[in-house]
Structure 1
Amino acid sequence: MVDSTPLLLSHSHSEPPPPPTPTPNHPTLNDIFEQYLGGFGWVQFSQVLLVSLAWIFECQQTFITIFTDEEPSWHCIDQTSCNSHANICNLSPNTWVWDQPAHTSIISDWSLQCASSFIAGLPSSCLFLGCVIGGFVLGSLADSLGRKNLLTLSCLIMSIPAFLISFCSNLWLYSALKFVSGFGRAGIGACVLVLSSEIVGKRWRGQVGLSGLLLSTIGFLSLPAIAFLNRGSSWRVLYLWTSVPAILYAIIVHFFVYESPRWLIMQGREQEAITALVKLSPSHDDEASIDLKKILIATVTPSSLSTKSNLLSSIKLLLEYRWALKRLLATMVVGFGVGIMYYGMPLNLENLSFDLYLSVALNALMELPAALFVLAFIGRWSKKSFVLVSAIVSGGCSVMCAAVATIVDGGGDGWWKALQVGLELVSFLSACVALGVLTIYVLELFPTKVRNSATSLVRQAQVLSGVVSPQLVGCGKYNPFWSYGVFGLLISFCGLFVIFLPHTNDVIFSDSLEEQENNEKAVSNSVNGA
């Protein structure tokens, strides 16, 4: 449930909250973080907003191929030897023309209309393949390089190749640059989620996690708007419009975003952590830094600090604890199922018998009610049940959409087309709900030491589905079961794996695997005792 506390606390220097004082039993790091970051002041708000803007650019690069790689419409110019319902590949090139200039899509620009579904979907598949590989390479660098630094680096790696794509001359170079762009994209989501959640207190974690979904909606909505305003222009213009602002954004992040105090503490950089905590605190009391330093010196011990980790060490830690491995595998399977729907549905919109600009805009708008729905009920309902129900609803509607699509392709009237669009929208909305809840759920399932790595691995499972979905979309042009039907079956089956995960409502962040294990045992014993 949304907290009733005002979103932004008043900025006052006259009556700052008293700094924490040492006691015989020194406060834990969580106590310190909650005292200094428990509110939600203007500085935290601006930092969360600035960090979360990365979702806009990430979403644009994820779905831009809906417009740049679509197969344009065409018409006959020789009615005697051309049939508008025939396969374009069986017609003489002199008997038909594209409805718009050839440079509006890579399909018409590079004459790919008769290429196989594999070739047509290659750029999108390369993007997600780059995400998968980039996730394993960049995934845990935030645990050693830092959340902010990796966010900056990832945005640059994603946006610079996107800028260079606007000068591509063939499909193979285009696909290679999409791969590099996807490699950089892989590090963005995990960094944004972890950095945003680690600069606020427990009560704001859910709201902050959903800010990404809201800004992702803006990014998604901006695509049909940009494409519509530039209709008739070259597909290269879309890449320029989306890549240049992303490059400028990465530079702004480098200079104006604070590093996570939790990460700084875990790296033994107490003075930098103190500075960040004081700047982020709603009271912003610089004098409190002296007292805070004393408490941190007394609280932080060598055993509480994290060694600089990398991907292999993080995976090794996860493998050492059976409960952690079980959670990781289950969340990755669920993430794959949710991802196949979240990425596959928008890419499949070109197969709908509906206006592409409007259908993309409607799908983008579905993310907004999904985010608001999650925001309203995330504190009331079990996240475990939330994900399960959303996945089953999404899958069921998608399978029904495949059945209705068969009727529409057979000559069904406008009512059947409206039903197909409605089922598709409900299916995508439910997938967005599942994705939003899963995003917050994963943050609570793993401690600080491996949180970024675990989050990244789950996201890689999601984007792995993006490698498969463009190929299924290509097959769906001829048989809707291979797109809508397979999407629905996969998300429903994978969603069932959430039953292997625990409930996490009202759980506090832990810093190490040992601490999380002990905290959960204590909670379990308390519940059993009650």
Structure 2
Amino acid sequence: MERNEKSPEEEITTPLIMSVDEMIEQSIGRLNLIQILQIFLVSIPTFFDSQQTFITVFAHALPTWSCTTSNTSCTSNSKLCDLSKTDWAWDSGNVHTSIISEWDLQCANSLFAGMPATSYFVGCFLGGLLLATLGDSSLGRKNLLCISTLVMSLAAFASAFSPNIWVYSIFRFICGIGRAPVAICVLVLLTERVSKRWRAQAAMAGFMSFSLGILGLTGIAFLTRDLSWRTLYLWTSIPGIISSLLCYVFLYESPRLLLMQGREKDAMAVLRGLGSNTLISPSLPNDNTGQKLPKTNPFISLKILLGRKWAVKRLIASMLLSFGIGLMYFGMFLSVGNLGFDIYLTSVFNALLSLFSYMLTFLWWIQHCNRRSSLLGFCTISGATCIIFSVIGKGHGGVLIGRELISLFCACMAYNLVLMYMVELFPTCVRNSATSLVRQAMILGSVFDPMLVLLGRKNMIYSYGAFGLAMLLCGFLVLCLPETRGKALCDTMEEQEFMDQDKIF
């Protein structure tokens, strides 16, 4: 008697006992064209995320100036604030290429002059705290990503029409709130919609898009260098608005999240859209386990996370580690104007270096190296090198830029690894919330960067020295976290506890 072939509809309802992770692996184990297009689409928001994060490098740069009188006290080496306003003028003439020249901030104290940039990172920090759990519950990954990108881009667009520094700071604050969940939503969506085999390569797409955004920003800034800083905001915000609408129309939600919410039909529809031909219903957690996330309570995932002692300890160690990495990573990019080199060329070097670090991390390092030892090594080298060249100062041109690139490369590697590491440390039911909180600790570190960067214009120890010390000290906290290399993503807290029988805590 011949065995009858089962139809796709019969396969969907086959009552097999299978976990969510096993079902995802079986359904979309092979990477196809549709999945590649989805990876490209979900990576686009990070392109504009990086532009809004580092746009102040150019919009807040100190413009070049020249002496306008024959007064011998005015030379190219004079301190601008020691001269009379009649002795010098901005080279750009009537065009304000920076907020510094438009609002006369060249002699303002560091706290006031750095207020717009600080407002942005404070917005990132608060926005992450307020919006982190929505990706695990009511809004979901996709909707939160689209809304965040739209708010970020609209606020950036409005920044171009700011009449003064106070209104400008408010718009930067709103931009930061909108931007806060973008990177985490992208990372989680990329890793949850592909099989374990392709997880690292998919995550790399988001990081590479981030670096390409910096390159794009540098190119736009160079082409508009003789125009108003407001033009730079217009050229970077309008494409971001368009991208948020495209993502809303064409992007798929995470099938893992849909299954954890009990939306099995929606999850199966997504898997079909991703090109799966083999669909098997998984064995979902019961309602009384507290792991299937109800849409009615947006903070249930946070409650689950904080309800486990091991998860709280892991979260604290991860947040402190990320704080130091964030202070170093963002500070290094924001400080390019303090090195005494061409700001556009240095930004290109830094962006290309970070791009290379992403390729190295996700094409080779993630597959072959442990997370803990790698993070410890990169944090130590980056922090120590940064401290050394901050002491040497600007007098050693080639040596300075070489050490800066080494320190930045290690900081980029640590930044790449820690975000991927966080995705693997927490289960699906709390992954977006936990990873977002860790990300917010990273953003909290960057809150101090604008002020340190301005102080570093006088003495590099205040900027690069502080970055290196924070990176060095916080890097040792990785020893408090378990190794995750080669382990499958868990979906519930119970699964995570079972898998981490050999965890440190």
Residue 517 (1) aligns with residue 500 (2):
no
CA apart distance, 1:306: 2.4
Q: 2:324 is matched by which residue type in structure 1? A: G
Contact 1:136-1:311 within 8 A present in 2 as well? no
Shift in Å, 1:439: 1.0
| Cα distance between partner residues in 2 of 1:40 and 1:300 | 28
- The 5 Å alignment of 1:318-467 reads 318-375=305-362, 376-405=364-393, 408=394, 412=395, 416-467=396-447
Deviation of the 1:299 alpha carbon: 5.2
**Cα deviation 1:311-348 (Å, max 9, x = unaligned):** 64333322221211111111111111111111101111
Distance 1:484 1:444 in 2: 31
Q: Aligned partners of 2:302 and 2:72: how far apart in 1?
A: 63
Q: Secondary structure at 2:482's aligned position in 1?
A: coil
Which residue is 2:25 aligned to?
Answer: 34
Q: Distance in 2 between matches of 1:20 and 1:393?
A: 52
**Residue 100 of structure 1 is aligned with which of 66, 84, 92?**
92
TM-score by length of 2: 0.93
Task: Please give the per-residue CA displacement for 1:383-416, whole angstroms capped at 9, x wherever unaligned.
Answer: 11111111111111111110221xx3xxx3xxx1
CA distance in 2, matches of 1:363, 1:400: 19
State the AA in 2 paired with 1:26: I
CA contact (8 A) 2:314 2:481 kept: yes
1:136 matched residue in structure 2: 129
Offset from partner CA, 1:66-121 (integer Å, 9 cap, x none): 00001111111112254222221221211111122341111001111111111111
Return the letter of the residue paired with 1:339.
G
- The equivalent of 2:82 in structure 1 is 90
Please report the TM-score for the alignment, with normalisation by the length of structure 1: 0.89
Q: Residue 115 in 1 paired to residue 102 in 2? A: no
Q: Is the 8 A contact 2:81 2:106 kept in 1?
A: yes
8 Å CA contact 1:140, 1:310 repeated in 2: no
Q: Deviation per CA, 1:37-59, whole angstroms, max 9, x where unpaired?
A: 22211111111111011110000
SS of the equivalent of 2:448 reads helix
SS of aligned partner of 1:93: coil
Unaligned residue ranges in structure 1 (runs of 5+) = 1-14, 526-530
- State the partner residue of 2:3: none
Q: Is the 8 A contact 1:214 1:371 kept in 2?
A: yes
Is 1:269 the equivalent of 2:256?
no
Q: Provide the C-alpha distance between the structure 1 equivalents of 2:105 and 2:285, rounded to a whole number of angstroms.
A: 61
Q: 1 CA distance for matches of 2:46 and 2:107? A: 35
With 88-97 and 330-339 compared, the bigger mean Cα shift is at 88-97
Aligned AA for 1:243? S
Contact 2:92 2:226 survives alignment (8 Å): yes
Unaligned 5+ segments in structure 2 are: 1-6
**Which whole-Å CA distance do the structure 2 matches of 1:424 and 1:275 have between them?**
49
For 1:397 and 1:233, locate their aligned partners in 2 and report how far apart those are by CA, in whole Å. 37
Task: Write out per-residue CA displacement over residues 156-175 of structure 1, whole angstroms, 9 at most, x where no aligned residue.
Answer: 11010100111111001001
Distance in structure 2 (CA, Å) of the matches to 1:485 and 1:80:
37
Q: Structure 1, residues 133-166: CA drift from partner, whole Å, max 9, x if none?
A: 0001111111121110000110011010100111
Paired AA for residue 238 in structure 2? V
1:449-488 mapped onto 2 (5 Å cutoff): 449-488=429-468
Of 196, 203, 227, 1:209 maps to: 203
The aligned counterpart of 1:52 is 43
How far apart, CA to CA, are the structure 2 residues paired with 1:21 and 1:207? 32
CA contact (8 A) 1:137 1:311 kept: no
Shift of 1:200: 0.4
Contact 1:399–1:484 under 8 Å retained in 2: yes
- Residue 20 of structure 1 and its aligned partner are, at CA, apart by 7.8
Give the equivalent residue in structure 2 for 1:9.
Answer: none
- Are 2:232 and 1:238 equivalent residues in the alignment? yes
Match of residue 187, structure 2, among 189, 193, 197: 193
Correspondence for 1:12: none
CA distance in 1, matches of 2:385, 2:162: 39
312 and 269 in structure 1: CA distance in 2 versus 1, 3 angstrom threshold: closer
| Counterpart Cα distance in 1 of 2:235 and 2:307 | 46
Instruction: Measure the CA separation in 2 of the matches of 1:354 and 1:310.
Output: 52
Q: Distance in 1 between matches of 2:104 and 2:321?
A: 38
* Offset of residue 22 of structure 1: 4.5
Kindly indicate whether the alpha-carbon contact (under 8 Å) linking 1:60 and 1:219 is maintained by their aligned counterparts in 2. yes
CA shift, 1:310, in A, is 5.4
- Verify the 8 A CA contact 1:475 1:482 in the aligned structure 2: yes
Number of aligned residue pairs: 490
- Equivalent residues of 2:133, 2:302 under 8 A apart: no
Which deviates more, 447-456 or 346-355? Answer: 346-355
1:345 and 1:26 map into 2 onto residues whose CA distance is 50
Distance in 2 between the 1:73 and 1:123 partners? 21
Question: What SS is found at the alignment partner of 2:89?
Answer: strand
Q: Does the 8 Å contact 2:191/2:202 carry over to 1?
A: yes
CA RMSD of aligned residues (A): 1.9
